[in-house]
Amino acid sequence: MEARQISIEDFLSSNKTRFIIPVYQRNYDWKEKNCLQLFEDIKNIGLQGERKSHFMGSIVYVANSDTDSIDLKEYVIIDGQQRLTTSTLFLKALYDVIDDEDLKDEILESFLINKRLDEKNKLKLKPIKKDDDVFKKLLKNDFDTIDTNSNIYKNYNFFKNQMIKFGDFKSLYLGFKKLFIVHIALNRRDDNPQLIFESINSTGVSLSQSDLIRNFLLMDKEADEQIELFENYWFKIEENLTSENISNFIRDYLTVKQNKIPNKDDTYEAFKVFVSSENMQTKGLLIELLEYSKIYKTFLFPHNEIYAQNLKNLKQLKIGVVYPFLLSVISSFNKQLINEQELFVTLEIIESYIIRRMVCNKATNALNKVFASLFSDILEMPNFMYEQFSKYFATILFSKRGSAIFPDDEEFRADFTSRDAYNLKNIKFILLRLENKENNEKVDIATLSIEHFMPQTLTNSWRAKLGDNYQLIHDKYLHNIGNLSLSGDNTQLGNKSFEDKKYILKEQSRLKLNQYFINAINWDDKEINRRADVLFEEAKILWEYPKELDLKLDFQDTDKEFYTLDDDIDITGKKPLYFELFNEKHTVKSWNDLYVNVVKILVDFDYDIAKSLLIDDDFSGKKQRIISSMETDCRKPYEIKESYFLETNLSANSIMTYVKLICEKFGLSGSDFVYTIRD
């Protein structure tokens, strides 16, 4: 690696040189405020004769050995494309406003073009494809068809207007010549461009996980190979998913491959480790990613696939944790390992599992762990056959306990008919699915809102209708599902009386869900409970507990009874099997063993937080401190590290109470901590 200071004038004016912005770089995205800062810097140093130079940053590049020759040198810009492109736009604007023909020729032939090279290599700067089209038109003064929304055009225009307002073009040119950069030339054989790129960008505006992944895959390749891999694979992946979904896609891809979910902010690092450990070739990896991206696209934008409606339902539920499992399922379907019937039953079971868990208030974050390794768990079941995939899938879900349980009809009924349904996440989806069940004329969710039949604000008419216990009924049943429906215009219904609401619904509503109200003679707690029961019978069929699919297999599923920080259970008489923290599994022999190891990990993770617990009143027990810097403060101390002691004379339930509290102090929640128990 060679690094030295050089003027931007000398850098850009190198003879027979092209500066290539590689395909993996982001579009040019400097905004007006960035250009204004550069313009002001150039203007000020041009007017200040005593100032010799102004530092504008670094430019890192590597020679393109595919084309490097005596006739042409190509520099692939690894970092600094924004500064380089903006400087070129400044020079083009200056060229267009200045009258001095000699100065115009100097700007054109020194900085903008290679005068004696062919048309293909004439322009000194070659942005990425989308920007390149605009840039070429700009240099040719083809303003009739240029994209005026491009930052290339906007910033050129901005500079031109600022120059005309300022008027002193020669001082601007002088100011430009005082700009200096540090240019860093890398040697592809001896240097690692990716590591250097990461180091440079760690202190600047952070790149997205998607940007880092794309750069990692393409940066170390020669320019021709970069273009081939980008255009044939990566560009198509981005086209399938759009760039904002790439990071989640890669995270789910890694989950498929490794049966564990990387932390969201560590996707790039996890991807690098995976590629390195598997010794994967870039082209083969991109081919696989492209195939998976075609499937993932159907999750994000379900269209005309035979299973599109099922995917639309799952998308509305916003349960992206099922995507790794679905990637494997639909990949198997595409390979004709799973038939159409098995696929549909599997998708229906997923929806039933999710809806029943939502209604029964089971933690959704526990689903991360359930679905991460579910496909491989199914394949490992005794005598597995793809022809019965849905049965194996159902069987393994039925075996789950704790946070992963599949609520049966009894539990589903209890919560469905009694809970506050109005504040239930996805209640509109639930009501809409009930409305559209066996309904040939489907209703669109976008046109509807939730309607309380017994209104949220009681009128005298409603008090009379509900009877002497109107307040108790209103408090208990207002948000019960038996009192809820859908309406296209609930402002018209509002607080109207029982009879008026019935009349409006009869005259104006075609919704099946509202028929019960229309036929009702009265409305009170008994009617609300009856309607809740009616809706449950529909829901029980729609989101079935498919017990007839249970294969009754005798198989070991050590993960089937796991719990998270959200679970509150009595663990008396039970033993822990293992716990997971920061995606690492730790086998333990006792609750004390679990307790000590969790604290050790967290103390090493962030000692500043750990030290704060030494004086935290939440860890003052009745007779001793639970965490202390003094050994004598504990009845049965365990030394985590010097001057850091843990009270271990605790019951199993007390241990879990303090483990949860400690995790909370470290900002952990839900399935950040998972533990498995055995009787």
Q: Give the model confidence (pLDDT) of 228-247 as tens digits.
A: 998 899 989 989 998 889 99
In the structure encoding, which two tokens stand for residue 230, read together? 């980008």
Instruction: Give 93-103 pLDDT, tens digit per residue.
Output: 999 999 999 99
Phi and psi at 470, nearest 5°, equal -55, -40
Instruction: Give 350-403 pLDDT, tens digit per residue.
Output: 999 999 999 999 888 788 888 999 999 999 999 999 999 999 999 999 998 888
Q: What is the pLDDT of residue 207?
A: 64
Indicate if the pLDDT at residue 66 is higher than 60.
no
**AA letter at 497:** S
Q: Within the chain, how many helices (H) and strands (E) appear?
A: 31, 16
Angstrom distance (rounded) from CA 505 to CA 519: 11
In the structure encoding, which two tokens stand for residue 263, read together? 């932390």
The rounded mean pLDDT for the chain is 89
- DSSP-derived pairing of the beta strands 644-647 and 673-678: unpaired
Angstrom distance (rounded) from CA 77 to CA 126: 10
First to last CA, the chain: 61
Given pLDDT bands bounded at 50, 70 and 90, which one contains residue 64?
A: confident
Q: What is the pLDDT of residue 204?
A: 44
Instruction: Give 395-431 pLDDT, tens digit per residue.
Output: 999 998 888 999 999 999 999 999 999 999 899 999 9
Q: What is the pLDDT of residue 69?
A: 55
Q: What residue segments make up the domains of the chain, in order of their start? A: 2-201, 209-401, 413-542, 561-678
- DSSP-derived pairing of the beta strands 644-647 and 637-641: antiparallel
Q: What is the pLDDT of residue 628?
A: 94
Q: Which of 43-57, 303-317, 376-390, 472-486 has the lowest mean pLDDT?
A: 43-57
Neighbouring C-beta atoms of residue 425, cutoff 10 Å: 11
Q: Do 315 and 350 form a contact (C-beta atoms < 8 A)?
A: no
Angstrom distance (rounded) from CA 13 to CA 108: 10
* CA of residue 488 relative to chain centroid, distance: 33
Q: What is the pLDDT of residue 202?
A: 47
Indicate if the pLDDT at residue 63 is higher than 50.
yes
620 strand-pairing partners:
625
Residue 601's region, left for phi above 0, alpha for psi from -120 to 50, else beta, is: alpha
Q: Choose between 158 and 679: higher pLDDT.
A: 158
Q: Do 13 and 91 form a contact (C-beta atoms < 8 A)?
A: no
* Closest CA relative to residue 9, chosen from 185, 175, 186: 175
Cα dihedral 101→102→107→108 (10° resolution): 70
Instruction: Give 289-343 pLDDT, tens digit per residue.
Output: 999 999 999 999 998 899 999 999 999 999 899 999 999 999 999 999 999 999 9
Could you give the percent of the chain with pLDDT greater than 90?
63
Kindly calculate the radius of gyration of the chain based on its CA atoms and give it in whole angstroms. Answer: 33
Q: What is the pLDDT of residue 293?
A: 97
Instruction: Give 73-82 pLDDT, tens digit per residue.
Output: 888 888 888 9
Instruction: Give 543-570 pLDDT, tens digit per residue.
Output: 999 999 998 887 766 566 788 888 888 8
Phi and psi at 75, nearest 5°, equal -110, 120
Q: What is the pLDDT of residue 637?
A: 94
Please name the fold of domain 561-678.
Replication modulator SeqA, C-terminal DNA-binding domain (1.20.1380)
Q: What is the pLDDT of residue 491?
A: 67
Angstrom distance (rounded) from CA 425 to CA 431: 12
- DSSP-derived pairing of the beta strands 484-487 and 449-452: antiparallel
Q: Which of 203-217, 287-301, 518-532 has the lowest mean pLDDT?
A: 203-217
Q: What is the pLDDT of residue 205?
A: 46
Rounded mean pLDDT, 651-677: 92
Angstrom distance (rounded) from CA 405 to CA 480: 24
Q: What is the pLDDT of residue 49?
A: 72
3-state secondary structure 91-103: HHHHHHHCCCHHH
Q: What is the arrangement of strands in the sheet containing 561-564, beginning at the earlier edge strand? A: 401-402, 561-564, 673-678, 575-581, 584-587
Instruction: Give 213-230 pLDDT, tens digit per residue.
Output: 888 888 878 778 888 998
Rounded mean pLDDT, 449-469: 92
* Closest CA relative to residue 62, chosen from 282, 223, 225, 234: 223
Is this structure's pTM higher than 0.75?
yes
The DSSP call for residue 384 is -
Indicate if the pLDDT at residue 660 is higher than 80.
yes
In the structure encoding, which two tokens stand for residue 535, read together? 């809706």
With b for 16 or more beta-carbon neighbours within 10 A and e for fewer, the 80-96 pattern comes to bbbbbbbbbbbbbbbbb
- Burial class of residue 333, CB neighbours in 10 A (0-12, 13-18, 19+): buried
DSSP code per residue over 345-365: HHHHHHHHHHHHHHHTT--GG
Q: What is the pLDDT of residue 203?
A: 43
Angstrom distance (rounded) from CA 576 to CA 652: 10
Q: What is the arrangement of strands in the sheet containing 627-628, beginning at the earlier edge strand? A: 627-628, 644-647, 637-641
Angstrom distance (rounded) from CA 618 to CA 663: 13
Q: What is the pLDDT of residue 614?
A: 94
DSSP code per residue over 543-608: T---GGG--------TTSEEEETT-----TT-EEEEEEETTEEEE-SSHHHHHHHHHHHHHHH-HH
Phi and psi at 106, nearest 5°, equal -65, -45
- Burial class of residue 608, CB neighbours in 10 A (0-12, 13-18, 19+): exposed
Rounded mean pLDDT, 138-156: 93
SS3 406: coil
Q: What is the pLDDT of residue 452?
A: 93
